[in-house]
Chain A
Amino acid sequence: MKIYTQTGDQGKTSLFSGERVVKSDARIHAYGDIDELNSVVGALIAALLPDSEAAEGQLKEIQSDLFQVGAWLAATSGSEAQARLNSITIGYSQRIESWIDGMDAQLPELKSFILPGGHPTAAWAHIARTVCRRAERAVILLAEQEAAAGRSFEGFAPIVAFINRLSDYFFVLARWLNQHAGMGDVQWQG
């Protein structure tokens, strides 16, 4: 089918659960930021050096999980459409924690602030970290709006935990990638 339907030319879009909403809606910001994060992860994967298979595998799993999170956010809470999707569970963030621990064990102890940068792959990881933080803010804003409207926060909790852990993952990954490229951390000289 054609990629464009022209149904969004008046500033509205359809949620996965069918509602028509303006594109400035908090829900659109939330899954839009998740989509942006997924794209940055794609750029990071494309830039990886040889011998980065473990990181590549993790990042591809993260992309798949982010896609799932985006679909969940694109349907209103408690909707039939959302119920059809796989649940986001606390297992998502627990898996990220295990990956963080695995990389952290290979890195020197952090004794000062570091600046985002170094090898291009690490720079991409820092961009992913900051986009991830923005996505986290957008998801929490949406969750607050849902709670204010009397809807449950329950489904958001594992997503917030996953995104929060993910930004930590990208921080540690950036350090690991700099080390992998033989560059080490870019330390703040302030």
Chain B
Amino acid sequence: MMPRPTPANDIRPRFVVAVTAVRWLSEGTFEIRLERPVGFKFLPGQKISFVDGALRRDYTLLGPVDAPELALCVRHVPDGLFSPRLSRARIGDRFQITAPFGYFTLKTSGRPAVFVATGTGIAPFVAFANAGARGFDLLHGVRTPAELYYRDLLFTAARRYIPCVSAAAGDGEIGPEGFAGRVDRFLSTQYPDGAYDFFLCGRIQMIRDVTRLIDARFSGSRVFIEAYD
């Protein structure tokens, strides 16, 4: 994702925070932890922006909401403007972030909740699970099984945790619940008709394909979207 220019009227409070830890989750993805500013409150599913001059980049807070540090899941983009710097960050390095924002929060109804993520789009669902959400179905679309980060937490919290692995995987690598293929193909071929609360987070192509599928097959459903490119 290309960082965007800071809107001229962006009046969100900003904080300068220090890195407290960097932990690699897979070859291309890491979790970064930051010190938590005093009075910093957020809802599960909200995000912050890293800011550098006119550039900014949004990341969803993983939670828990009462944790002493802020945690973020970052995909390393070699030619990106933020993720290389974040990946090389050492403890104590300081970055400017905004106050939390966003509306991709868990909204419940009588319908079953279905969370659909690709790649690091899993972050808000980790935040939901960290906040105590249970009983949802979760589809995590990744290229290889190594990218199924936060698997243990999500497997425990979800009613069904369905890894959807698009590249060829070895026997047993994706588990008995796993699916060899993309999330939209799982939904179109394996998922029962009905009305659901869909929460979609990930690449625009997935958002587009799954939304079209919902319109065609799951009428009466609600759809909440957090897209990135």
Q: Which of A1, A17, A20, A79 interacts with B1 by CB under 8 Å? A: A1
Q: Is A2 an interface residue (CB 8 A)?
A: yes
Residues of A within 8 A of B228 (CB): 1
Residues of A within 8 A of B21 (CB): none
Q: Is A14 an interface residue (CB 8 A)?
A: yes
Answer whether A81 and B225 are a contact pair too, CB < 8 Å, given A5-B208, A6-B208.
no
A14 CB to closest chain B CB (Å) equals: 5
With the chains together, A1 CA to B214 CA distance in Å?
A: 22
Q: By the criterion CB–CB under 8 Å, are A18 and B103 in contact? A: no
B103 CB to closest chain A CB (Å) equals: 7
Residues of A within 8 A of B207 (CB): 5, 7
Q: By the criterion CB–CB under 8 Å, are B103 and A14 in contact? A: no
Q: By the criterion CB–CB under 8 Å, are B229 and A18 in contact? A: no
Q: Is B108 an interface residue (CB 8 A)?
A: yes
Interface residues of A toward B: which range?
10 to 19
With the chains together, A17 CA to B204 CA distance in Å?
A: 20
A172 CB to closest chain B CB (Å) equals: 27
With the chains together, A137 CA to B215 CA distance in Å?
A: 30
Answer whether A79 and B107 are a contact pair too, CB < 8 Å, given A18-B222, A20-B214, A20-B223.
yes
Q: By the criterion CB–CB under 8 Å, are B227 and A5 in contact? A: yes
B5 CB to closest chain A CB (Å) equals: 13
Most-contacted residue by chain B among A1, A12, A17, A79 (CB, 10 A): A1
Q: Which of B108, B204, B215 interacts with A80 by CB under 8 Å? A: B108
With the chains together, A20 CA to B103 CA distance in Å?
A: 17
Q: Is B211 an interface residue (CB 8 A)?
A: yes
> Which of A18-38 touch B at CB < 8 Å?
18-20
Q: By the criterion CB–CB under 8 Å, are A6 and B105 in contact? A: no
Q: Which of B103, B208, B211, B221 interacts with A81 by CB under 8 Å? A: B103
Residues of B within 8 A of A20 (CB): 211, 214-215, 219, 221-223
**Residues of B within 8 A of A (CB-CB), count:** 23
Q: By the criterion CB–CB under 8 Å, are B225 and A7 in contact? A: yes
For the residues of B in contact with A, the DSSP-based class is: mixed
Q: Is B224 an interface residue (CB 8 A)?
A: yes
> Which of A79-98 touch B at CB < 8 Å?
79-81, 84
B38 CB to closest chain A CB (Å) equals: 24
Q: Is B212 an interface residue (CB 8 A)?
A: yes
Q: Which of B103, B197, B204 interacts with A6 by CB under 8 Å? A: B204
Q: Is A189 an interface residue (CB 8 A)?
A: no
Q: By the criterion CB–CB under 8 Å, are B212 and A7 in contact? A: yes
Q: Is A16 an interface residue (CB 8 A)?
A: yes
Residues of B within 8 A of A81 (CB): 103, 107
Chain A window 54-90, contacts with chain B (Cβ cutoff 8 Å), 1 for yes, 0 for no: 0000000000000000000000000111001000000
With the chains together, A2 CA to B109 CA distance in Å?
A: 29
> Which of B60-113 touch A at CB < 8 Å?
103, 105, 107-109
Residues of A within 8 A of B223 (CB): 14, 18, 20
Residues of B within 8 A of A16 (CB): 103
Residues of A within 8 A of B219 (CB): 20
Answer whether A7 and B108 are a contact pair too, CB < 8 Å, given A14-B223, A18-B222, A84-B103.
no
Q: Is A10 an interface residue (CB 8 A)?
A: yes
**A binding-site residues for B, Cβ under 8 Å:** 1-2, 5-7, 10, 12, 14, 16-20, 79-81, 84
Taking A18-B107, A19-B222 as known contacts, 11 extra A-B pairs with beta carbons closer than 8 A to each other, sorted by chain A number, are A1-B229, A5-B208, A7-B207, A14-B223, A17-B107, A18-B197, A18-B224, A20-B214, A20-B219, A20-B223, A81-B107
The contact sample of 16 A-B pairs, CB cut-off 8 A, is A1-B1, A1-B229, A2-B227, A5-B207, A7-B208, A10-B215, A14-B225, A17-B107, A18-B223, A18-B224, A20-B214, A20-B215, A20-B219, A20-B221, A20-B222, A80-B108
List of 4 A-B pairs having minimum Cβ-Cβ separation, nearest first = A18-B222, A7-B211, A80-B107, A6-B208
